Structure 1
Amino acid sequence: MSTSSLSVLIAFFIFLLAAVITRPIAKATQVPHPILLILTGLLLHSTQELVPLPLGALTTKEFAHDIILMVLLPTLVFETAYNMDISKLNANRLPIFVLALPGVLISTFIVALLVALLTPLDVSLALLLGAILSATDPSAVISAFRQLGAPKDLIMLIEGESLFNDATAITLTKILVAVFTIGGTLGSALLYGCHLFLLTLIGGIASGWILARILLRLWKKMPDDPFLEISLSLLLAFGSYLFAEEILNASGIVATTTAGLTLAMNVPLPISRNSQQYLNHFWSYLSFIATASVFLIVGLWMDLSLIWENAGISLVVLIILWVSRALIAYLLLPQVGRIQRQDKAIPIEYQHLVFVGGMRGAVTMALAMGLVTLLGDETLLSIAINVVFFSTLIQGLLIKPLTSHLCLREQDINDNIATAEITLSALRQGRQALEPLLRTELSTRQAPKTLSDRIEPLIKQQEKQLHHWFSAEVGPIGLWNRLMLRCSSVEIGYLYQLFDQGLISATVYEELKNSLDEQMEAIRHEYTRPGFSLLPREMSSLLHKIHTFIYKQPHRLVEQEYEMALARMISCNSVLSELKLWAEEEQIPNAVAESVEKIWQGWLTSSEEKIRVLESQHPDIAKKVQSKLLENYLLTAEYEQLEQYTRQYLLSEDDAEKIKAALKSQIK
């Protein structure tokens, strides 16, 4: 093994060890993990003379730049995009857009203008500095928010901004470098810059979306294999980046972001539940390693002599950055941002935390290192390192006490009720599981009876609390809303069960879940509920003709409509049964229960009517769909039994795969 390869391997080992050691310390001390990682990196840098460690590869600007921009950043961006809550993202799309596009541009030019006026840097360097400092890294903030139970809308606002403004800042920096390299008049430079920005953005979006759709099709066709599926997701994350950057000369980060979001929009993915869990754990782990590596590299690059040398300029830049962030948070955002489609501005508490949450991190470091290679000047890099360090340190330490002071824990009564309902459901399930044991020999030993006696008061306590909320705090309208949300949530659960059993396809599940999500968002945030159609994206006659002309497969649309109607018939029946049980057990007022029941009964009737119409008009297609779904259901049940034998070590994985193939060929 060469010296450089060994150096990289040892550096990775040291980084992993540092991440593992600092994580429990961060939890114990309540200090944000990124801050501890930066300080650890600084310690490693400071002790190099006393204890020389083979970290030389990571102190090389070109290598560190490539590692951050081409390995660590795509990992972080893809994982964030893939795990994004699409319904929350959609609900907060306007304020996120404001922060990620106009916000980045405004921040860049404000910082550039003030830096050019107040520091020795010229206009071109000031613009580049403004661009690289516009990308935010909220790792410490998001971690603190989740620990404190901050509102989900606020978390989405900060996380969504970071996801999209990284792409904007990287693209903007590339364009500024290209414009300064070419030169020319101001007008031609602006025109060229805008043209390049659009091409870069569109190319990145198109390549990411196309590659993600190809992967989804591959997953649908290929046999279930977690190793292959995880490997393909890796190829998508890094392949989309390289394809956009190297072949299309577009934005690789935009491509990776789009690829991750495309997968998020298609959850559940067309892979098995076990494979999805493996995939989620794999990317969470990679994200942890990438985050730790980024902040350790920041600390490793901290040179105390450079910090003091550029301390004056860095302090001025940091203050300018805060001024720019304040203008965006307190002036721009309230004018156009609307949380959850409500007719009110973003709360002032959110604005405070958007201001404090604008820390700098990985993207700023990577771009600054890249500029050193291009410009041959380390001034921007030293300023960037100082800003990243002090913004993470100061704002990271402020975020928890500020969030606690503003009392921004999720206090919505509907969320409290939902938690109580889920707890009550779990307790009742536990009581039901104990009932058979009370009729066995174990009952004579008092253990089941003791547990049962312990559960009963807890059930009564939850029932009493719910009754109080429903009668005293929520009122009839609030109770109706709560019951609608509960029924919608339960129906999504039943639909997922149908999907998991192989009775409906992933496409049908996604379509129906999206429609139910829209219903729930409308109820939560008090805007007009959209009409629920059995085929939510049902095409107009013109689009239907175009689709038929292109694909020559009109029967596919009929199959999908029939499958959706069948799924809704089953899920609506299940919800109506649950609703009847709740009304009896929880003494829900008749008027409220009947009103909600009428809605689901209407959807059930529509589903049954749709099934009758399709069976009379397309009997062959209906029979084909029924046969296919029942075959899938049977195979899923058989596969689950084989997987159980495999988990119990009664059957090897190879033998299980052979039996699966044989069963599939026999049934098909």
Structure 2
Amino acid sequence: MPELPVSDIVLTISALLIVIACTQPLARRTGLPFTVVLGIIGVIIASGASWLLHTRLTDQFNEVAALVVNMPVSSATFLDVLLPILLFQGAITIDVRRLTKDTVPVIFLAVLGVFIAIALIGGAVSLVSSAPLVICLLFGAIVATTDPSAVISLFRDLGAPERLTRLVEGESLLNDATAIAAFGAFLTLIISGGGYEPGLLVQQLGFAFLGGVITGVICGRIAITLISWLSSFRSAQLTITVALPFVIYILAKNYIQISGVVAVVTSGLVLSAMARPRFEPETFKFFQETLEQLAWWAGGLVFILAALVVPDLLSDFVLSDVLIILTAVIAALIARAVILFGIFPLLAALKLTQRVDNPTKIVIVWGGLRGAVTLALALAVTENPLIDRETQRFIAIQATGFALFTLLIQGTTLTALMKWLKLDQLSPIERAFRIQVLTQSLSTVKSSLNNFATRFQLDPRLTEQTAQQYINRLSRIADDKSYKQEINDQDRLIIGLVALTNQEKSLLLDQRLSGILRHDLVDRYLLVIEDMIDAARESGREGYISAAKKPYRHSTKFRILSWAHTHLGFNRPIASHLGKHFHFLLINRILVLELKSFLDQRLQNLLGTQSVTVLQEILDQRLDSIERHLAALRLQYPKFAKTLDRRILERIAYRDELEQIKNFRDAGIISLDLARSLTSEANFFHAARRSQTHVDIKSKTAELLTAFPVFKNLEVSELTQVIKELHPRVLADGAYVFKKGDKADGLYFIESGAVEIRVGDDVHRLGQGDFFGEMALLNETNRSASVKSISFSHLLLLEKDTFHELARTHPDWRSSLSDVATKRKTMNRETRTDLKTD
């Protein structure tokens, strides 16, 4: 093949991009997937160019045809240039938090499914062909890769269920990674002449896969750090994200000798989960749009360039190859059906995954299209000089024929299959809710139209004619008897809860709040929001409230940090944790207050007064819980509370200042130079203002102890000695200090917060300045009651040995404690007597 000049290559690629652009409206008109139409056009162009170049009828088009025929398309063009950005964009587009709910089915479909497909396809093909089993298994690995682009675009056009799209997206990414890793292992086995240990082969495959995951996570986290560091430089942030997949892919594949595909996909998933809070909202939108455009170009070129090599790959095709191709297709469909109809029901029965309905399973089975990756791997075999000619021919023809069958037969019938299975239709609840949304929207449009016409003094008759169209549509909706289903109260409530939670997510990522909440706290908040959505759908009100309160409960991390603070004296970690918790609660409160306004303004007419009243009660319940936790923290850390409030106000003011500058510039009131100058000044002023991120947990213990009556008669030196013996304990709301029957470990003083003492059915509450735990020490018994923190509490523990030593040297102190204990016993007896009398 003669080498083309660089200018001719650029010309050909540019012309192909124009063809790709013009193909999109053609695909929409025909109703076929875009990539299927693109593949057909590519085959037509390649076949036509080859015919023009070799025909004796004319030589007029030889130069143009040569540009297509001699285009230097190799496996590296697909795998090293186009594939990384496609994989990366696909991984970033996936909502990782939603995907985690389907982790088990995606892994089974992608990983186990690939190996079942390789075994079934390889075994079946070996029965109907003369090729050795190892070559048939290599062919199975090549065609095990699925191409989601055609299917996903079709799903979105038809409005397929979100979960179906998510399953196919997740499966395709991991599928490609697993299949390409298996391809490399089988290729190595063939080149080695079969002298490769099976155990070593499995070990190599595992190392490539696991190494790719680790490399992807590390590189993804490094990219996140760089993006955060370059938060003020949009172009720099975008450059890093665009360069990242190519750096990772080449580094992993060529230098570390691990799976570059796995590494790129993993890094993309890391960025999908963590990148958004690190970008300014406008920058993130620009970043998404840029990656989508790059992936669209790459995806189009992948298909049309792959189609250009189809005629060459099929040049030695004979009729007997049809049997092998059909056998492989049937085996591939059976392999997917085994996973979906055999293993998935078992996983659902074991509650390892949600149930997948049969229509969705059928579409996933039939929608396993193959495309550019399959052809790229086939090209890699044909280009390898260590592979014999017969094997190259076998792989080229079978892989190409298999890919063409899936695109031309499965791809063209997928739309009809989805419509037949009614997967393009809304659920009954959504269809019923659609009527209400449409009615309100059309009424609003009609009203806005009349206001616009009045304001600008347009012809009233034309206005009336235009408005009549909306009146007619409203009438048709009201008279439509084809579908009438009332939404029950529970469904309305779930719709409202999901709408509120989605709005909370939008507010969290809003431009004005950008930068107020730390990135790690945004990540945590987003996880809480996803849990709230799932809980609302599954358990309604109770599930939503439980998920919303989850961040307020004491976590394992908090208990570990509290233990380190109490026993090891590590103050900074718990102080930082409390500062983040304080920050989280404050933003949580702001967003819930915003949700109350949103509920009144946007959902009142859609959901009705009764549902909105219940939703208001739920939000009030959330707000009360937040206020209670915040009040305890404000009481304990008043200085930090004021600092945090000031920081939020300054950030809001900064955002408003930038918005005002932008508005003046958009209106043409100020010049571009002045806008830049004002923006730089605002940025400089804001950057110079930093605030602390952790609370000050160094309490003024001496001042606090003098407030306790039992310490008022101690000398200063004695008080100093007691202070040295006190151990701080930090407890979250709901955490037990001790339980009934526990051994007495000491006397507790409440520095701040409150606790609840439960003796049988009796409940008593103590607050700041109180103490408890003296009865078991004085009587030398186990604990007779359970004590639980009912707010965020700081306690001081005087250990048992120190207590007895102090009681021995200060009889008056012991007497004071005995009086308190006697009074509490009397109070407990009186309470129980009253209960019996009642």
Q: Matches of residues 329-340 of structure 1 in structure 2 within 5 Å?
A: 329-330=337-338, 331-336=341-346, 338=348
Deviation of residue 335 (structure 1)? 3.0
**Matching residue of 2:707:** none
Count of aligned positions: 661
Q: Measure how far apart 1:11 and its partner are.
A: 2.4
Aligned pairs (5 A) from 1:97-136: 97-136=107-146
Partners of 2:563 and 2:204 in 1: CA distance: 33
Please, which of 37, 47, 50 is the counterpart of residue 48 of structure 1?
A: 50
In the aligned structure 2, how far is the partner of 1:308 from the partner of 1:325? Answer: 26
Tell me which residue corresponds to 1:83: 93
Greater CA deviation, 400-409 or 532-541? 532-541
Deviations 1:96-118 (A, max 9, x none): 21110000001001111111221
| Distance change in 2, residues 1:552/1:17 (3 Å) | same
Asked if the contact 1:65/1:369 (under 8 Å) is kept, the reply is yes
Write out per-residue CA displacement over residues 591-649 of structure 1, whole angstroms, 9 at most, x where no aligned residue: x5454333322221121122222222233333332233222222211122223344445
Select the residue among 397, 400, 405 that pairs with 2:412. 397
1:661 to 680, 690, 695: 680
The corresponding residue for 1:157 is: 167
**Greater RCO, CA 8 A, separation 6+:** 1
Secondary structure of the 2:618 match is helix
Residue from 265, 273, 283 that aligns with 2:291:
283
Asked if 1:382 corresponds to 2:397, the answer is yes
Which of 622, 632, 635 is the aligned partner of 2:651? 632
Structure 1 stretch displaced more, 214-223 or 600-609: 214-223
The CA distance in 1 between the partners of 2:319 and 2:149, in whole Å, is: 25
Q: How does 1:233-248 map to 2 (within 5 A)?
A: 233-248=241-256
Select the residue among 556, 574, 577 that pairs with 2:594.
574
Instruction: Determine the C-alpha separation between the residues in 1 that align with 2:405 and 2:547.
Output: 51
1:273-352 paired onto structure 2 within 5 Å:
273-303=281-311, 306=314, 309-330=317-338, 331-336=341-346, 338=348, 345-352=355-362
Q: Is the 8 A contact 2:325 2:401 kept in 1?
A: no
Matched, 1:607 2:626: yes
Deviation at 1:81, TM superposition (A): 1.0
Indicate yes or no: 2:484 matched with 1:474: no
Which SS does the other structure have where 2:94 is aligned?
coil
Aligned match of 1:496 in 487, 493, 509? 509
**Which residue is equivalent to 1:37?**
38
**Which residue pairs with 1:190 in the alignment?**
198
Aligned twin of 1:171: 181
Q: Following TM superposition, by how much is the alpha carbon of 1:386 offset from its aligned partner in structure 2, in angstroms?
A: 1.7
Cα distance, 1:217 vs structure 2: 2.2
- Tell me if the contact between 2:135 and 2:190 (Cα under 8 Å) persists in the aligned partners: no
1:372-451 to structure 2, matched below 5 A, reads 372-374=382-384, 375-377=387-389, 378-379=392-393, 380-416=395-431, 419=434, 442=456
Displacement of 1:71 after TM fit?
1.6
- Range 81-90 or range 426-435, more displaced: 426-435
Which residue identity is paired with 1:250? Answer: I
CA shift in 2, pair 1:57/1:226, >3 Å:
farther
User: Any residues of structure 2 matched to 1:522-601 within 5 Å, and which?
Assistant: 522-525=535-538, 529=543, 531-532=547-548, 533-534=550-551, 538-544=555-561, 552-579=572-599, 585=605, 588=608, 590=610, 592-601=611-620
Give, in angstroms, the shift of residue 526 of structure 1.
Answer: 5.1
Distance between the aligned counterparts of 1:526 and 1:158, measured in 2?
A: 27
- Structure 2 distance, partners of 1:487, 1:462, is 30
The residue type paired with residue 417 of structure 2 is: L
Identity %: 21
Rounded to whole Å, the distance in 2 between the matches of 1:403 and 1:82 is 27
Letter in 2 for 1:82: I
Greater shift in the superposed pair: 548-557 or 629-638: 548-557
Q: Which residue of 2 aligns with 1:357?
A: 367
**Alpha-carbon offset, residue 206 of structure 1:** 1.8
What CA deviation, in whole Å up to 9, does each residue of 1:340-383 have, x standing for no partner?
97987422212221121111112111111112233153221222
Q: CA deviation at 1:224?
A: 3.2
Tell me by how many angstroms 1:166 deviates: 0.4
Cα offset, 1:212, TM superposition: 1.9
Structure 1 residues 173 and 539, CA, compared in 2 at 3 Å: closer, same or farther?
same
Q: Is the 8 A contact 1:10 1:54 kept in 2?
A: no
Bigger strand share: 2
Q: Deviations over 1:504-554 (max 9, x none)?
A: 344433422321222212333459835322369954345436999999554
Q: What secondary structure is seen at the aligned counterpart in 2 of 1:250?
A: coil
Task: Return the structure number with greater helix share.
Answer: 1
Shift of 1:170: 0.7
Is the 1:534–1:607 Cα contact (8 Å) retained in structure 2?
no
Match of 1:256 in 2: 264
Task: Kindly provide the amino acid, as one letter, of the partner of residue 521 in structure 1.
Answer: D
Deviations 1:483-510 (A, max 9, x none): 2223223333333337645443444334
- Give how far 1:459 is off: 11
Pair 1:79–1:262, CA change in 2 (3 A)? same
CA 1:585 to 1:381, structure 2 compared with 1: closer, same or farther past 3 Å? closer
Post-superposition CA distance 1:315-356 (Å, at most 9, x none): 423333323322432543543465997987422212221121
CA contact (8 A) 1:94 1:338 kept: no
User: 2:497 aligned to 471, 484, 487, which one?
Assistant: 484
| CA distance in 2: counterparts of 1:165 and 1:434, whole angstroms | 51
Query: How big is the alpha-carbon RMSD for the aligned residues of Structure 1 and Structure 2?
Result: 3.8
What TM-score do the two structures reach when normalised by structure 2? Answer: 0.71
Q: 1:637 to 1:580 in 2, by over 3 A?
A: closer
Aligned position for 2:768: none
Cα deviation, 1:173-210, whole Å, max 9, x if unaligned, reads: 1122234445677xx72321222222212221122222
> CA 1:657–1:444 in structure 2 vs 1: closer, same or farther (change >3 Å)?
closer
Looking at structure 2, the residues matched to 510 and 351 of structure 1 have their Cα atoms a distance apart, in angstroms, of 33
Counterparts of 1:644-659 in structure 2, within 5 Å, are 644-648=663-667, 651=670, 655-659=674-678
SS at match of 1:229: helix
Partner Cα distance (1:368, 1:493) in 2: 45
Q: Given the superposition, is the C-alpha separation of residues 544 and 559 from structure 1 closer, same or farther in structure 2, using an over 3 Å criterion?
A: same
Q: After TM superposition, give the deviation of residue 472 of structure 1 in Å.
A: 5.2
1:41–1:642 CA distance, 2 compared to 1 (3 A): same
Deviates most, 20-29 or 538-547: 538-547
130 and 184 in structure 1: CA distance in 2 versus 1, 3 angstrom threshold: closer
What TM-score do you get using the length of structure 1 for normalisation?
0.87
Change (3 A) 1:10 1:581: closer
Structure 1, residues 293-334: CA drift from partner, whole Å, max 9, x if none?
Answer: 122122211227935624423542333332332243254354
CA 1:353/1:216 → structure 2, altered by over 3 Å: closer, same or farther? same
Gaps of 5+ in 1: none
Q: CA 1:625 to 1:435, structure 2 compared with 1: closer, same or farther past 3 Å?
A: farther
Q: Relative to structure 1, is the Cα distance of residues 423 and 611 closer, same or farther in structure 2, using a 3 angstrom cutoff? A: farther
Q: Return closer, same or farther for 1:53/1:229 CA change in 2, 3 Å cut-off.
A: farther
Aligned to 1:202: 210
Distance in 2 of aligned mates of 1:464 and 1:602: 37
Deviations 1:27-76 (A, max 9, x none): 12223222222222222222235234578798789852111001211111
Counterpart AA for 2:682: L
Aligned to 2:227: 219
Deviation at 1:384, TM superposition (A): 1.2
Q: Distance in 2 between matches of 1:57 and 1:654?
A: 47
Give how far 1:555 is off.
Answer: 3.8
